[in-house]
Amino acid sequence: SNKAHSEAFNTTCCYCGVGCGIVVNKDKNDIVTVTGDMDHPVNKGMLCSKGMNLHYTVNDKTDRLLYPQMRLNKSMPLQRVSWDNALDKAAAAFKTFIDKYGPDSVAFYASGQCLTEEYYVINKLIKGFIGSNNIDTNSRLCMSSAVVGYKMSLGEDSVPVCYDDIEMADCFYVTGANPAWCHPIIWRRVEAHKAENPNVRIIVVDPRVTDTCSIADLHLQLNPGTDITLNYAIGRALIENGDIDLEFVKNHTEGFERYREMVFERSITEASVICGVSEDDIRLAARYIGEAKGFLTMWTMGLNQSSIGVNKNLSLINLNLITGHIGKPGSGPFSLTGQPNAMGGREVGGLSNLLPAHRDLNNPLHREEVQKFWKGTTISPTPGLTATQMFDALNEGTLKAIWIICTNPLTSLPNARWAEEGLKKAKFVVIQDISNKAETLKYADVILPAATWTEKEGTMTNSERRISHLSKIVPAPGEALPDSEIICRFAKKMGFKGFDYSSPEEIYLEHTRLTSKTNLNIAGLDYDTIRRNKTIQWPIDKRTGAGTQRLFTNHKFYTASTRAILHSPPDTLLSEMPNDEFPFILTTGRIRDQWHTMSKTGKVNKLNNHISNAFLEIHPEDAASREIREDTIVVVKSRRGEVRLKAKLTFAIKKGVVFLPMHWGKILGSDLNRANNVTSPILDPISKEPDFKFCAVSIEKY
């Protein structure tokens, strides 16, 4: 029977940062089915709609890139070539640009979906051997504000909590996030906890009424961009009520005097007007937090994707610090990562301003330490280009060549028409991808077919620092290769030493050695140990070999003074403000059944059934004033471009605010469903994360 031939493998879901365990069964024809892993600490057998349908994306190979292709010059068609030819061509082009214009004339743009081993070799190649820091990933669009927030408050980019804190918390403050749709399995755990303990309090902060609000005790439907004002007002109320932990503040933090002054600058009444939230509700939120024994804050893009994303993060982490709710069960500030391995990327230093194992690019000793370890070239002290800056530099002509791995910038970058202009102007483009539908392929000089989930081995780290192993289960189609192997082959073509790995595990072990004597120590952790433990949370205790559930239990932080820092940034918004011509505030986001730019979930009919087309969410009164009815075609315009799609009328959104889903790119050559035609190019000044949640638009009937 088929069953006799079926083999079971353990792996981890490749979609989101929740990191659910999956059992993949494979039959003799390499056809797979998936089920939730009952023994997995994260999901205990559960899967959300996306994870549950993963087998379709594995079994359907009809859209896969199967062999390398290249063109001799921009006017010639693409042709099938061997791996050697394709990589020789790429190496020759990269060498030419580096010789002529210096190492900063080339860049790698990768993805939060890359495995840790892949990030590691790309980072090593460009920083350690090419001598530029021009590597960034789409994680820049996702959690770079959280990275800076943690670093400034706690001394390092360290998520202090774990999912098991969910069942120990009795107050949740979920802000700028819709986990019911975007982190479903975490939210199932919160729902179950609340069902068993009705006195658990859930506060949701969001300009929209989302599914997450359905179990909320309190929904603060704030005006977009007013998060800091709200967090300060709650901070003020906590201080006024005597509901802060003065002992903790005195012994383990610094900056409280300034913070106190700052939050007392505005009355709660004044804050209530700015935020569009009643004074009573602000006070009720403070009361819930004040009464909590375990207080978890959870956030994602509503805080991060902002012109003041870092400051929003700081104002939120402050609430955990003044109440002493950190480093103990059921408490802490929890940034929920969007992508499956954004955390792994952070650990290996895979962004343009980071070095491996949370070392600092600014620190000459850290640069030297890494350079000695890699035995390559001097590491440049200059931070590299970030995601959107790369496309600016292509437009300006200073960046000549870009290598894009596992991401679709023409759908996901803000101001996408500008990004597309940049790609058109690039002198040389390498696209390393799995899908023959990627919009970037049109601009490629070299196309490299990559292996995907279940076709390659490696590791990822989820939102709670949990490292898991992903098995190779089925063969990659055609000549597709694992991303790390492609990069290592290219590095060797460039003539660099140190890329001769016999397996992904060898890469991983090298990465773990760089973590030794750092706060994320996992030195010597091999695949067997990860599998034997099922998963393991960094850092690893040197004596016992056990992982770490929770950080800062001794209240010693990673700052110079070992105290956590209360920052008091101004609450001024730096976004593009509405005016007479563009009177609405546009915010963008995800829907339940699609993942990012839909290259995988878009293949699954069942998932497309939930919501099959892009739409504009608008308040019925705003719609009426423009004679817009349900399903009327509307034109949404900003200073940068427009989209044209159907209106969906709903009281779930505030008046004056509209919402577009971010998943759709070009469809049959038309970009009129692409939300990012209109989004703003403004970045957070520190994290360089784009302001996806705020720009000024006009809405008219088509």
Rg (CA), the chain: 24
13 is an interface residue for ligand SF4 by CB under 6 A: yes
CA 3 to chain centre: 38
Q: Backbone dihedral region of 453: left (phi > 0), alpha (psi from -120 to 50 degrees) or beta?
A: beta
Number of C-beta neighbours around residue 591 at 10 A? 18
**Residue 208: DSSP 8-state:** B
Sole window of 45-53, 267-275, 388-396, 534-542 interacting with ligand SF4 (rule: CB under 6 A): 45-53
Name residues contacting ligand SF4, limited to 277-296 (CB under 6 A). none
Nearest distance from residue 52's CB to ligand SF4, in Å?
A: 7
Closest to ligand SF4 by CB, 19 or 294? 19
> Which segments of 121-167 are extended strands (E)?
135-137
Sole window of 46-54, 193-201, 222-230, 559-567 interacting with ligand SF4 (rule: CB under 6 A): 46-54
Q: Are 176 and 205 in contact (CB under 8 A)?
A: yes
Sole window of 40-48, 132-140, 368-376, 530-538 interacting with ligand SF4 (rule: CB under 6 A): 40-48
Nearest distance from residue 409's CB to ligand SF4, in Å?
A: 22
d(CA 432, CA 404): 6
With CB under 6 A as the rule, give the number of residues binding ligand SF4: 13
Nearest distance from residue 504's CB to ligand SF4, in Å?
A: 21
19 is an interface residue for ligand SF4 by CB under 6 A: yes
What does the per-residue mask of binding to ligand SF4 show for 179-218, with x meaning CB under 6 A?
Answer: -----xx---------------------------------
Nearest distance from residue 470's CB to ligand SF4, in Å?
A: 12
Number of C-beta neighbours around residue 273 at 10 A? 14
Closest to ligand SF4 by CB, 320 or 407? 407
Closest to ligand SF4 by CB, 174 or 185? 185
Q: Are 273 and 658 in contact (CB under 8 A)?
A: no
Closest to ligand SF4 by CB, 201 or 596? 596
> Considering only CA atoms, which of 550, 561, 461, 463 is closest in space to residue 511?
461
CA distances from 667 to 664, 674, 679 (A): 8, 9, 19
- Edge-first strand order for the sheet with 32-36 is 7-12, 21-26, 32-36
Closest to ligand SF4 by CB, 125 or 143? 143
Name residues contacting ligand SF4, limited to 595-634 (CB under 6 A). none
Q: Which of 15, 259, 334, 453 binds ligand SF4 (CB under 6 A)?
A: 15
Closest to ligand SF4 by CB, 323 or 462? 462
Nearest distance from residue 535's CB to ligand SF4, in Å?
A: 13
Closest to ligand SF4 by CB, 58 or 678? 58
Closest to ligand SF4 by CB, 182 or 525? 182
Sole window of 10-18, 278-286, 565-573, 633-641 interacting with ligand SF4 (rule: CB under 6 A): 10-18
Q: Which amino acid is at 699?
A: I
Nearest distance from residue 17's CB to ligand SF4, in Å?
A: 7
Q: Are 311 and 348 in contact (CB under 8 A)?
A: no
Matching residue, tokens 């023409």? 410
Residue showing the smallest CB distance to ligand SF4 in the complex: 51
Helix axes 116-123, 483-493, angle to 10 degrees: 20
Nearest distance from residue 13's CB to ligand SF4, in Å?
A: 3
342 is an interface residue for ligand SF4 by CB under 6 A: no
Structure tokens at 510: 């090298």
Closest to ligand SF4 by CB, 48 or 355? 48
Q: Is the dihedral of CA 80, 81, 83, 87 positive or negative?
A: negative
Closest to ligand SF4 by CB, 281 or 464? 464
By the 10 Å C-beta count (0-12 exposed, 13-18 middle, 19+ buried), 23 is classed as: middle
Helix (H, G, I), strand (E, B) or coil at 92: helix
Nearest distance from residue 604's CB to ligand SF4, in Å?
A: 12
Sole window of 18-26, 140-148, 158-166, 358-366 interacting with ligand SF4 (rule: CB under 6 A): 18-26
Nearest distance from residue 471's CB to ligand SF4, in Å?
A: 16
Q: Are 430 and 402 in contact (CB under 8 A)?
A: yes
Sole window of 11-19, 358-366, 406-414, 615-623 interacting with ligand SF4 (rule: CB under 6 A): 11-19
18 is an interface residue for ligand SF4 by CB under 6 A: yes
By the 10 Å C-beta count (0-12 exposed, 13-18 middle, 19+ buried), 632 is classed as: middle
Q: Are 550 and 327 in contact (CB under 8 A)?
A: yes
Structure tokens at 532: 């034997």
Nearest distance from residue 588's CB to ligand SF4, in Å?
A: 20
Number of C-beta neighbours around residue 607 at 10 A? 24
Residues forming a β-bridge with 666: none
d(CA 472, CA 41): 21
Helix axes 83-101, 483-493, angle to 10 degrees: 60
d(CA 148, CA 503): 33
Nearest distance from residue 666's CB to ligand SF4, in Å?
A: 25
391 is an interface residue for ligand SF4 by CB under 6 A: no
Residue 109: its H or E element: strand 106-110
Closest to ligand SF4 by CB, 231 or 594? 594
**Residue 683: DSSP 8-state:** B
Sole window of 47-55, 69-77, 370-378, 609-617 interacting with ligand SF4 (rule: CB under 6 A): 47-55
d(CA 365, CA 319): 34
Nearest distance from residue 523's CB to ligand SF4, in Å?
A: 28
Q: Which of 24, 47, 525, 658 binds ligand SF4 (CB under 6 A)?
A: 47
Structure tokens at 407: 């991401």
Nearest distance from residue 216's CB to ligand SF4, in Å?
A: 20
467 is an interface residue for ligand SF4 by CB under 6 A: no
Closest to ligand SF4 by CB, 423 or 460? 460
Q: Which of 20, 115, 301, 387 binds ligand SF4 (CB under 6 A)?
A: 20
Sole window of 41-49, 356-364, 372-380, 563-571 interacting with ligand SF4 (rule: CB under 6 A): 41-49
CA distances from 281 to 228, 234, 315, 347 (A): 16, 10, 18, 39
Closest to ligand SF4 by CB, 50 or 236? 50
Q: Which of 10, 24, 26, 50 binds ligand SF4 (CB under 6 A)?
A: 50
Closest to ligand SF4 by CB, 48 or 565? 48
Helix (H, G, I), strand (E, B) or coil at 124: helix
d(CA 566, CA 235): 12
Helix axes 227-240, 279-291, angle to 10 degrees: 60
51 is an interface residue for ligand SF4 by CB under 6 A: yes
Nearest distance from residue 18's CB to ligand SF4, in Å?
A: 4
By the 10 Å C-beta count (0-12 exposed, 13-18 middle, 19+ buried), 96 is classed as: middle
21 is an interface residue for ligand SF4 by CB under 6 A: no
177 is an interface residue for ligand SF4 by CB under 6 A: no
460 is an interface residue for ligand SF4 by CB under 6 A: no
16 is an interface residue for ligand SF4 by CB under 6 A: yes
Please give the residue ranges that form the binding site for ligand SF4 (CB under 6 A). 13, 15-16, 18-20, 43, 47-48, 50-51, 184-185
